[in-house]
Structure 1
């Protein structure tokens, strides 16, 4: 971007910051809803994979099928079933976020030292107590890494929301593409990229904190 283009972008942002802020908020809400659903469903599925090894390949393969589908194709299929709008993009983000969360929960639980689990049983812990107080806390660095990856993916996929009647920063990007207006494209793309970088940095720091924690039996 040359100096005149940068000046034009600053002017556009100054004049339209309430609108851009609203689109950013819509973008964040869509991502948080999709990630929230993925955590609610993905963590139990990851636990199931760790507890039932025969089911793990089936569950991971099913989640992987969703992951490898082109995002626009998946959203188009969901649009046929769910229609246009917020609900469809949230379901799409949920599906795209599942694999990293399921896989990392599963891997994290499998990495827990069997001796620690046996020690927990030795002090009288039930299976549920062992999972909640020992295994999941020890697996949290892996789960945080999965959430970190899922968040970055979801922020990127959410820019496609306007194509299926949603809002978010993608609306500014596609408006700029249709009008051949570079300033509008940058006004949507730069905040979206900044959200992804910020999410990666914050979740990376959160992930690092879990690595320093110790579990007491």
Structure 2
């Protein structure tokens, strides 16, 4: 027990050390790199997942493709995908982004599709009955009612990307994973646990941000319709 407390104390000293908060290898710079990978990946994944999820959910065409994506997502090995893409495309930021986007698209696509398709048919028919166009039905009826599931998919993808972006360090890139990789290579316990702690805190902050966003943009009557995982 005393050894554990001593180790935790050393990690605390590492996190509060001024030298860890400045320079090219400091926490702010690594955090910026991590957020860059994560933010760009989530942006591209959202553009793809939302577009196809809304289209397939509204029209009902291509549902088999969504099911195929869902099954494929369960079989993709995260680290293996990154290594494969980097091996084929070379060591740069782009291959890592491609791998992270591929991992983030499925939860966004699936939850968007399920949210739109789950809207009551009578509600859609009533909207059409008052003269709404198909675009208006989607934008004014289906999307607002599907918003809890859409945000859930985005939240799952965001947390997954933030956690997975640590493996960007294995092919030689930066980010918070650099602390973990370097710490393992040096047998530096403080560096490994310190870097892992920062990643965990970042993931928790993402969770809090999406929870707050959900309270702002989703009407109270719809919040209870989606259970929190």
TM-score, normalized by length of structure 2? 0.86
Cα distance in 2, alignment partners of residues 9 and 94 from structure 1: 32
- Residue by residue, what CA displacement relative to the aligned partner does 1:52-76 show, whole Å, maximum 9, x if unpaired? 5452122331353144211111112
The answer to whether the Cα contact below 8 Å between 1:67 and 1:99 also exists between their aligned partners in 2 is: no
Correspondence 1:199 to 2:206 = yes
Deviations 1:123-179 (A, max 9, x none): 221111111121111111000001111111111111100112321110000100000
Unaligned runs of 5+ in 1: none
Q: Paired residue for 1:23?
A: 30
Q: Tell me if 1:73 matches 2:80.
A: yes
Deviation string, structure 1 residues 99-121 (Cα, Å, up to 9, x no partner)? 11111011100111222212221
Which protein, 1 or 2, shows the higher relative CO under an 8 Å CA cutoff with sep ≥ 6?
1
2:14 & 2:58 partners in 1: Cα distance? Answer: 54
> Equivalent residue for 1:11?
13
1:8-59 deviation digits (Å, cap 9, x = unpaired): 2233231212211111121111111111111100011112322454521223
1:34 aligned onto 2:41: yes
TM-score by length of 1: 0.90
Number of residue pairs aligned between Structure 1 and Structure 2:
215
Gaps of 5+ in 2: 223-229
Instruction: Name the CA distance, whole Å, in 2 between partners of 1:83 and 1:201.
Output: 36
RMSD (CA atoms) = 2.0
